[in-house]
């Protein structure tokens, strides 16, 4: 049997020596590795003193620049530096180096920037450009910067729109208090503008576009936890139902139909209530079913005390019944002219600034606080017994005399209900220009002699009074 011959190549392979192309590739790989190492090492050496291509420092292209070259460039840039600011709605402003005392320690600036580079990463920098931000080394006078920008910002803000903070109010459609989102404005916040301009200046930027960060910010935002808490408290108060009683009998009830227009979440995010609105409701609605008179006195709701009780109950989240407090608001002294008068008549007490209408049986059928003639100007309403005359009129104009002799009447007053009792010159009428009645108003801001009444009281009297009804005016 013949033996197979062993070829040299097979023997070589068996001896572990590479054969063919593999044997030739190894030297090439080694050569490439050495070349790459040489290139990388050379790059590290070069970029240890130069910035890599594409590198920027505060937006300035410093490709292949040395630290010394950047230092010289910074020194030149500071001398002719100028910053242009652009903002919303066409706002523009400029500041120059001399305006703000801009100065640079150029060597420190360049040195710090260069230390943020990494020569060992130069291949990566070629693929992804290195961006360096540098502030240290450049200084300015912050007060001068503020002075330079303030006139432009203030002039712009005169026609800009202020932001509106988020708020909470009653939503009639939803039947509850809900948060209304804040509305951004266009007003610039000088402090924020100065801060952004300072940062731009220290990095030697030459253009700054102002955005939302530099605007005046709303003081309250829709996600403010305090606003959410106030809204919840308002809705809890809205759910209250508070009985108002007189001698233990319910006369009225404070519920959502009333409190919705009284409760308010203030700018301080605290729940409050409109005391004036509560008082107006007491006087215009509740009083009609509670006020009464006996033979001597007139009694009316103590509106200030009741309003305070309702206010405290709403804010304190209490629904216990509130007893309506009363107070004496008028009387007929035994010796007064009004006391001696019998039968149907209007009694006008100048001392108490209170008027009452008595029917034929001596029962009070109408009452009101008044403002009579101004005693400080000698225009006291005349005292005596008179009668409503036929000059009664609706929707008329009261024309004053020409006491100052300027050729024009001293006043023209539009009134809806005119009920004269002295000719056509002195009478009872509504005075919608007044906000309060009674007290001592007559002594310093009284009328020209007429008896001024709240609109609703004048209307009620008009519906009751007749020509010929007596009018007794007394102190």
Q: Is pLDDT above 90 for 322? A: yes
Q: Are strands 56-57 and 131-132 parallel, antiparallel or unpaired?
A: parallel
Instruction: Quickly state the pLDDT bin for 293 (edges 50, 70, 90).
Output: low
CB 19 within 8 A of CB 13: yes
Query: What CA–CA distances, in Å, run from 143 to 147, 428, 454?
Result: 6, 66, 58
What domains lie within the chain, and their CATH numbers? 42-160+186-217 (no CATH), 227-331 (3.10.20.800), 337-474 (2.40.440.10)
Q: Give residues with Cβ within 8 angstroms of 66, minimum separation 6.
A: 49, 50, 51
Instruction: Quickly state the pLDDT bin for 7 (edges 50, 70, 90).
Output: very low
The pLDDT value given to residue 79: 87
Secondary structure (3-state) at 145: helix
What average pLDDT score do residues 42-46 get? 83
The pLDDT value given to residue 170: 96
Number of helices and strands in the chain (H, E): 16, 27
The pLDDT value given to residue 61: 86
Instruction: Quickly state the pLDDT bin for 38 (edges 50, 70, 90).
Output: confident
Instruction: Quickly state the pLDDT bin for 20 (edges 50, 70, 90).
Output: low
For the chain, the helix, strand and coil percentages under 3-state DSSP, each to the nearest 5: 35, 25, 35
The DSSP call for residue 15 is T
The pLDDT value given to residue 335: 42
Which element (helix H / strand E) includes 156?
helix 142-157
Burial of 207 (0-12, 13-18, 19+ CB in 10 A): exposed
Q: Give residues with Cβ within 8 angstroms of 206, minimum separation 6.
A: 81, 82, 83, 84
Distance of CA 135 to the CA centre of its chain: 38
The pLDDT value given to residue 34: 80
Which of these, 433, 297, 293, 453, lies nearest to 372 by C-alpha position?
A: 453
What average pLDDT score do residues 65-93 get? 89
More confidently predicted of 30 and 400: 400
What average pLDDT score do residues 346-352 get? 91
The pLDDT value given to residue 181: 96
Q: Are strands 82-86 and 207-209 parallel, antiparallel or unpaired?
A: parallel
What is d(CA 339, CA 437) in angstroms, rounded to the nearest whole number? 24
CB 188 within 8 A of CB 216: yes
Q: How much of the chain, in percent, has pLDDT values that exceed 90?
A: 58
Q: Give residues with Cβ within 8 angstroms of 470, minimum separation 6.
A: 341, 343, 344, 345, 346, 385, 386, 387
The pLDDT value given to residue 9: 47
Which of these, 360, 354, 301, 309, lies nearest to 332 by C-alpha position?
A: 354
What average pLDDT score do residues 72-100 get? 91
Q: What is the pLDDT of residues 327-345, one digit of tens each?
A: 887 765 544 444 456 789 9
Lowest mean pLDDT among 54-68, 154-168, 311-325, 414-428: 54-68
Q: What is the pLDDT of residues 206-259, one digit of tens each?
A: 999 999 999 999 999 999 999 999 999 999 999 999 999 999 999 999 999 999
Which of these, 52, 74, 329, lies nearest to 204 by C-alpha position?
A: 74
What is d(CA 287, CA 368) in angstroms, rounded to the nearest whole number? 11
Which of these, 137, 138, 136, 134, lies nearest to 56 by C-alpha position?
A: 134
Instruction: Quickly state the pLDDT bin for 294 (edges 50, 70, 90).
Output: low
The pLDDT value given to residue 18: 52
The DSSP call for residue 350 is T
Dmax over Cα atoms in the chain, in whole Å?
Answer: 167
């Amino acid at each position: 049997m013949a033996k197979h011959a062993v070829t040299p190549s097979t023997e070589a392979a068996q001896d572990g020596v590479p054969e063919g192309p593999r044997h030739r590739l190894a030297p090439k790989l080694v050569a490439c590795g050495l070349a790459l190492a040489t290139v990388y090492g050379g790059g590290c050496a070069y970029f240890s003193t130069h910035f890599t291509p594409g590198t920027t420092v505060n937006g300035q292209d410093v490709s292949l620049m040395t630290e010394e070259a950047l230092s010289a460039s910074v020194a030149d840039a500071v001398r002719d530096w100028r910053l242009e600011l652009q903002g919303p709605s066409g706002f523009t402003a400029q500041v120059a180096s001399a305006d703000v005392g801009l100065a640079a320690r150029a060597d420190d600036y360049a040195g710090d920037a260069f230390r943020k580079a990494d020569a060992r990463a130069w291949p990566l920098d070629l693929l992804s450009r290195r961006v360096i931000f540098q502030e240290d080394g450049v200084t300015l006078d912050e007060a001068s910067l503020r002075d330079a920008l303030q006139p432009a910002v203030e002039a712009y803000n005169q026609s800009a729109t202020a932001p509106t903070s988020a708020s909470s109010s009653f939503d009639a459609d939803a039947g509850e208090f809900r948060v209304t989102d804040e509305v951004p404005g266009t007003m610039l916040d000088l402090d924020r503008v100065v801060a952004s301009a300072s940062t731009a200046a220290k990095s030697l930027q030459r253009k700054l576009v102002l955005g939302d960060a530099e605007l005046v910010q709303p003081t309250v935002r829709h996600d403010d936890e305090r606003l959410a808490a106030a809204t919840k408290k308002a809705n809890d108060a809205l759910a209250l139902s508070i009985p108002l009683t007189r001698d233990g009998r319910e006369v009225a009830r404070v519920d959502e139909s009333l409190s919705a227009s009284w409760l308010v979440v203030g700018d301080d995010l605290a729940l409050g209530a409109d005391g004036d609105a509560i008082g107006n409701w007491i006087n215009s609605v509740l009083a009609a079913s509670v006020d009464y008179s006996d033979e001597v006195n007139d009694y009316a709701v103590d509106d200030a005390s009741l309003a305070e009780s309702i206010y405290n109950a709403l804010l304190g989240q209490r629904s216990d019944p509130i007893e309506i407090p009363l107070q004496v608001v008028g009387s007929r002294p035994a010796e007064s002219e009004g006391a001696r008068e019998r039968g149907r008549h209007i009694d006008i007490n100048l001392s108490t600034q209170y008027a009452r209408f008595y029917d034929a049986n001596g029962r009070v059928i109408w009452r009101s606080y008044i403002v009579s003639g101004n005693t400080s100007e000698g225009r006291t309403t005349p005292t005596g017994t008179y009668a409503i005359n036929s000059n009664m009129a609706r929707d008329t104009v009261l024309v004053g005399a020409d006491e100052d002799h300027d050729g024009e009447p001293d006043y023209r007053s539009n009134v809806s209900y005119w009920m004269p009792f002295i000719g056509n010159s002195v009478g009872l009428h509504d005075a919608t220009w007044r906000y309060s009645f009674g007290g001592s108003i007559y002594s310093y801001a009284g009328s020209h002699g007429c008896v001024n009444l709240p609109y609703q009281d004048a209307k009620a009297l008009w519906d009751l009074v007749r020509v010929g009804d007596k009018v007794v005016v007394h102190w």
